[in-house]
Amino acid sequence: MERHLTPTQRLAEITLKRPLHEYVAEKRTARPRWTWKLISEQLAEDTNGEVSVTPEALRQWYGTEEAA
């Protein structure tokens, strides 16, 4: 299945040098589980401020992947 990424998601993947969905999944499956807010804050830090997204955007993009 081909993923259709937003420009922000593509920028995050280029900056992180890895798929954003893997980055998010790693944090959501960690124990203790990272909140969407913490992931949002860490993403901004890990990309030196290049990528800033709201916790809600991350949840909308990747929240359904958790249920799968």
Using a pLDDT cut of 70, give the percent of the chain over it.
93
Provide the number of structural domains found in the chain: 1
**Cα–Cα dist 31/15, whole Å:** 25
Range of the domain at 50: 7-67
Which residue do the tokens 């929240």 mark? 63
Position 16 in a domain: yes
Position 2 in a domain: no
The predicted-structure confidence for 44-68, as pLDDT tens digits, reads as follows 999 999 999 999 999 999 998 765 5
Q: What is the secondary structure of 1-67 as a DSSP string?
A: ------HHHHHHHHHHTS-HHHHHHHHHHSSSPPPHHHHHHHHHHHTTTS----HHHHHHHHHHHHH
Give the model's pLDDT for residue 66. Answer: 61
Position 52 in a domain: yes
- Average pLDDT taken over every residue of the chain: 93
- Predicted TM-score of the model (pTM): 0.88
Position 1 in a domain: no
